[in-house]
Amino acid sequence: MINLSARVFERRMAEALAPLGLSPAYLPVIFTLSATGPATQAELARSAEIEQPTMALTLRRMERDEIIYRVPDETDGRRAIVHLTSRAEELVPQVESIADDINSRAFDGLPAGSSAQLIDLLTRAAANLTQRPVE
């Protein structure tokens, strides 16, 4: 059921983000950079819990779509610091609103407090699997 829910959420998010020229895969990067400011590719991969090659591909697409830009790291020339473009920064409130709306629709009709409980339980389940991967 978790996989089914995730696929439906992602499909709805993709439909809602398409007019903005965004993909659901961009959201971890957009939300992280919006909340914490510029970061390296490695930091973004860690925060999104995805592999470096996947993050590299996502960032290339985001750069192509003018969502992010990179600046060489002054302290380490091998790294680049990833920033949101001004266009992306302007889109953040719309993206947050879209995400809130989709979450609201998903939890419509559920008992009061159950959405917070579900999120808490899923957060704990993810933490359990992160701390103790399946062998």
Domain count, the chain: 1
**d(Cα 13, Cα 20) in Å, to the nearest integer?**
11
Q: Are 83 and 71 in contact (CB under 8 A)?
A: yes
Q: In the structure, what pLDDT confidence band is assigned to residue 132 with cuts at 50, 70 and 90?
A: confident
Residue type, 87: R
Backbone dihedral region of 68: left (phi > 0), alpha (psi from -120 to 50 degrees) or beta?
beta
Return the residue matching tokens 């999120």: 119
Q: What is the pLDDT of residues 89-121, one digit of tens each?
A: 999 999 999 999 999 999 999 898 888 898 899
**pLDDT score at 100:** 93
Q: What is the pLDDT of residues 10-27, one digit of tens each?
A: 999 999 999 999 999 999
Tell me the percentage of the chain whose pLDDT exceeds 70.
Answer: 98
Domain span at residue 91 reads 2-131
Query: Mean pLDDT lowest for which of 17-26, 60-69, 71-80, 89-98?
Result: 71-80
> Residue 19 sits in a domain of what CATH number?
1.10.10.10
- Find the mean pLDDT for residues 127-133: 80
